Amino acid sequence: MEKQEAPSLQPPAKTVLIIAYYFPPMGGSGVQRPAKLAKYLPDYGWNPVILAPEPGAYYQFDESLLEELQHRRIHIERVKARTFFHFMASAAGGERLQVQPKEWKTRLLSAVTAWFFQPDNKTGWIEPALEKARELIARNKIQAVIATAPPYSNLLLAARLKREYGLPVIMDFRDDWLESHWISYPTRWHYRRMKAIEAKTLAAADLITVVNEAYKTALLKRVERARAGQVYVIPNGYDPENFAKGIAGEVSAPKAAGFRTFTLLHSGRFYSGIAPDALLVSISIFLKRNPEQRSRFRVQFQGGLTDAHRKVIGRLQLNDIIEDLGYVPHQRAVENLMKADALFLTLGNIPKIEAVTPGKVFEYIGSGKPVLAYLPEGVTADLLRSYGAAYICGMNEAIEQAKALEKMYRDWEGNTLPRAESAFKQQFSRKTIAREFGGLLDELQEFSK
């Protein structure tokens, strides 16, 4: 990969170092928060310098996200990390490698990580990143640090910088740490050790930001630093620039008189423990009751389906109404949201999932489209109720799920689908979120004088 020429950082803008393991050209939901923060922070007086690894082995790449940042001349510094994923890429002869591991391999890696790596399997990037961070601090007038997690190794790196340089540090949580729904502890010893690592690391934070109230509540209960009142909720969001392009690109050709097709879209990957099965069963029930509607009903999945998903689709005889778009670049994904009539969301039957707000929810909100949601009670269900344009059912309620699907379809048929108010959406704009981070950085700078 060619080394980027770093743009000059001109005063009087202030400079913040953003530590992000997941960063474009990596794709997917995990890169969105740091990438969009970097994109819009300069509008609020802060020049970001990004510290990230070479991509290594990863399941998807999205050059369009990197191009957005290059267009804005965002300063990105990369290091050669020493993780399993980077050794895989090197063995294949490059700095990046696209992989699509089978489910059993993903589960095996998670089990090995739980037993032998704490806080996660990205610790091999800490030392190379620390060396590069020292160079950046010496070369640029860095005035603060933001580290976003997961991986939690990013926070360990930020804590090291805090101890060495005394810079103000914000530690940002996209997921919980100790009680993360992704982490399964093999023994009580592993749990206690992770708890100690978390407490020691967060003691170095000047401020902690989290994406929802559930994570804030959890931190307040268990972390002394959090109880000092230094935890702020700054949600994920959507980029209004992407949606403006999406609206411009939306197909607006009139449909043939008397015939319309309803399109329901799911955006994003189905991670381990999350599947489209409940939706597929609902569709099967609906079409058996209403066979005459089959030619008017379409379901799109963008992000990719697995062989297991395709088997369920085949067993339920739904191949003719399903379209697998695969992984698509982020801008096209937004355009597809805007073209759909309604959107689908599920969280799966996963322990602690009620505290999770997936990033796609905010892009759904940004679209203003109605959402069919099968999920447990929790922060996401509450958010969608506030959104107002949602049909919500529990996870294990097949009959109610099918009724909700049919209600949505009938509302579409009668042109009565609900839409959200634009004022509600605005609070989740990536520009608004960048302004909130900029305000916190300003406060830290004033306090440190």
8 band by pLDDT with thresholds 50, 70 and 90? very low
pLDDT at 228 over 60: yes
Q: What is the pTM of this model?
A: 0.90
Q: What is the CA radius of gyration of the chain?
A: 22
What's the burial of 284, exposed, middle or buried (CB within 10 Å: 0-12/13-18/19+)? middle
Name residues whose C-beta falls within 8 Å of residue 152's C-beta, 6 or more positions apart in sequence: 119, 120, 177, 197, 198, 201
pLDDT at 68 over 80: yes
CA distance 171 to 205: 6
pLDDT at 438 over 90: yes
> Tens of pLDDT along 368-380?
999 999 999 999 9
pLDDT at 258 over 80: no
Identical fold, 14-237+429-448 and 240-426: yes
> Tens of pLDDT along 401-437?
999 999 999 999 999 999 887 789 989 999 999 999 9
CATH 3.20.20.70 fits 240-426, yes or no: no
> Tens of pLDDT along 178-220?
999 888 899 999 999 999 999 999 999 999 999 999 999 999 9
Higher pLDDT, 223 or 6: 223
6 band by pLDDT with thresholds 50, 70 and 90? very low
Mean of per-residue pLDDT scores for the chain: 90
3-state secondary structure the chain: CCCCCCCCCCCCCEEEEEECCCCCCECCHHHHHHHHHHHHHHHHCEEEEEEEECCEEECCECHHHHHHHHHCCCEEEEECCCCHHHHHHHHCCCCEEECCCCHHHHHHHHHHHHHHCCCCCCHHHHHHHHHHHHHHHHHCCEEEEEEEECCCHHHHHHHHHHHHHCCCEEEEECCCCCCCCCCCCCCHHHHHHHHHHHHHHHCCCCEEEECCHHHHHHHHHHCHHHHCCCEEECCCCECHHHHHHHHHCCCCCCCCCCCCCEEEEEECCCCCCCCCHHHHHHHHHHHHHCHHHHHHEEEEEECCCCHHHHHHHHHCCCHHHEEEEECCCHHHHHHHHHHCCEEEEECCCCCCHHHCCCCHHHHHHHHCCCEEEECCCCHHHHHHHHHCCEEEECCCCHHHHHHHHHHHHHHHHCCCCCCCCHHHHHCCEHHHHHHHHHHHHHHHHHHHC
CA distance 145 to 308: 43
pLDDT at 255 over 50: no
pLDDT of residue 17: 98
The domain ranges of the chain are 14-237+429-448, 240-426
150 band by pLDDT with thresholds 50, 70 and 90? very high
pLDDT of residue 246: 61
Q: Could you give phi then psi for residue 289, rounded to 5 degrees?
A: -80, -30
> Tens of pLDDT along 313-367?
999 999 999 999 998 999 999 999 999 999 999 998 888 899 999 999 999 999 9
Residue with tokens 């591991």: 101
User: 14-237+429-448 adopts what CATH topology?
Assistant: Rossmann fold (3.40.50)
For the ranges 98-102, 289-293, 304-308, the one whose mean pLDDT is highest: 289-293
pLDDT > 90 in the chain, percent:
71
84 band by pLDDT with thresholds 50, 70 and 90? confident
